[in-house]
């Protein structure tokens, strides 16, 4: 999957704002502010995000901004929530006909492409999370729900997974650690790469293959039959 095939949030928000011409004025204005905020975040990051920059890009008066958002943080949070909603909407589903390895690979390929496509927009997340600890709590709750869903599915479909041999708390902890590993890997590869990671210069396919290997080994304790060791 090339990055162009992954949904780009700014393109989606721009399209929503453009297609809202026949909607009530309040909806049109909010969508315009949301799209403008996303552009400002991509270009300047959250640390340099200003209300002046948002309204100038949207072609609106400063006073109009306050009818929709009390401050710049709330506008940035709205963009972040749109990111999460877009991720949920487009992520792959219906893996029942796929092998274990194929299902894990397909999901990782989507996440890698999605993060690569939206990397500049996500670059200021750490500053935003510092201002809004509720976002950290929300992300934690989302990852916990995902871990519970994964564990339920694994225990139902995978009789040879080692998760069946330990209590639920330990299995959930293992899944949370794997999710954290994947999140941090994507962040360090596409959002805030340190020099040593950047120098590795891996393609999206390379990153997908490595993540898939790690996920598979963590869940099943071995390689897939068709998987070559990394």
pLDDT at residue 226 in the model:
53
Domain presence at residue 81: no
Residue where a domain stops, chosen among 25, 46, 75? 75
pLDDT at residue 187 in the model:
92
Q: Are 113 and 6 within 8 A, CB to CB?
A: yes
Range with the lowest mean pLDDT among 21-25, 94-98, 194-198? 94-98
| 60-91 confidence digits (pLDDT tens) | 999 999 999 999 999 999 999 999 999 989 98
Pick left, alpha or beta for residue 114 (phi over 0 → left; psi -120 to 50 → alpha; otherwise beta).
alpha
Measured from the Cβ of residue 196, the count of other Cβ atoms closer than 10 Å reads 8
Q: What percent of the chain has pLDDT over 90?
A: 68
Measured from the Cβ of residue 96, the count of other Cβ atoms closer than 10 Å reads 7
Does residue 7 carry a pLDDT above 70? yes
Domain presence at residue 225: no
Asked if residue 142 and residue 174 are part of one domain, the reply reads yes
pLDDT at residue 123 in the model:
86
Instruction: Give the mean model confidence (pLDDT) for residues 45-54.
Output: 96
Asked if residue 177 and residue 107 are part of one domain, the reply reads yes
Q: Distance between CA atoms of 30 and 33, rounded to whole angstroms?
A: 5
Q: What is the 3-state secondary structure (H, E, C) of the chain?
A: CCHHHCCCHHHHHHHHHHCCCCCCHHHHHHHHHHHHHHHHHHHHCCCCCCHHHHHHHHCCCHHHHCCCCCCHHHHHHHHHHHHHHHHHHHCCCCCCCCCHHHHHHHHHHHHHHHHHHCHHHHCCHHHHHHHCHHHHHHHHHHHHHHHHHHHHHHHHHCCCCHHHHCCHHHHHHHHHHHHHHHHHHHHHHHHCCCHHHHHHCCCHHHHHHHHHHHHHHHHHCCCCCCCCCC
User: Confidence class of residue 113 from pLDDT cuts 50, 70 and 90?
Assistant: very high
Domain presence at residue 230: no
| 167-198 confidence digits (pLDDT tens) | 999 999 999 999 999 999 999 999 988 999 98
Joined together, the tokens standing for residue 34 give 């949301």
| 53-66 confidence digits (pLDDT tens) | 999 999 999 999 99
pLDDT at residue 222 in the model:
65
Q: Distance between CA atoms of 107 and 212, rounded to whole angstroms?
A: 9
> pTM of the entire structure?
0.84
Domain presence at residue 66: yes
Asked if residue 100 and residue 61 are part of one domain, the reply reads no
Asked if residue 208 and residue 178 are part of one domain, the reply reads yes
Does residue 158 carry a pLDDT above 80? no
Residue where a domain stops, chosen among 75, 102, 130? 75
Sign of CA pseudo-dihedral 46, 51, 54, 56? negative
* Number of domains the chain is built from: 2
| Enclosing domain of residue 135 | 91-220
pLDDT at residue 2 in the model:
41
pLDDT at residue 86 in the model:
93
Asked if residue 100 and residue 67 are part of one domain, the reply reads no
Specify the higher pLDDT residue, 35 or 165: 35
């Amino acid at each position: 999957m090339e990055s162009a095939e992954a949904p780009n949030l700014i393109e989606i928000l721009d399209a929503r704002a453009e297609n809202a011409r026949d909607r009530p004025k309040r909806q049109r204005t909010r969508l315009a502010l949301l799209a403008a905020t996303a552009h400002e975040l991509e270009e300047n990051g959250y640390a340099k995000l200003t209300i002046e920059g948002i309204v100038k890009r949207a072609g609106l008066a400063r006073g109009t901004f306050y009818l929709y958002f009390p401050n710049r943080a709330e506008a940035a949070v709205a963009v972040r929530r749109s990111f999460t909603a877009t991720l949920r909407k487009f992520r792959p589903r219906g893996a029942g006909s796929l092998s274990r390895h194929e299902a894990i690979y397909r999901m990782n390929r989507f996440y890698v492409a999605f993060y690569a496509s939206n990397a500049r927009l996500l670059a200021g997340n750490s500053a935003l999370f510092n201002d809004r600890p509720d976002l950290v709590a929300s992300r934690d709750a989302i990852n916990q729900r995902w871990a519970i869903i994964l564990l339920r599915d694994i225990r139902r479909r995978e009789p040879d997974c080692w998760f069946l041999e330990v209590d639920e708390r330990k299995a959930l902890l293992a899944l949370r650690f794997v999710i954290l590993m994947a999140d941090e890997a994507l962040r360090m590869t596409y959002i805030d790469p340190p020099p040593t990671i950047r120098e590795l210069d891996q393609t999206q396919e390379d990153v997908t293959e490595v993540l898939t290997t790690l996920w598979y080994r963590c869940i099943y304790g071995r390689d897939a039959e068709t998987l070559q060791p990394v």
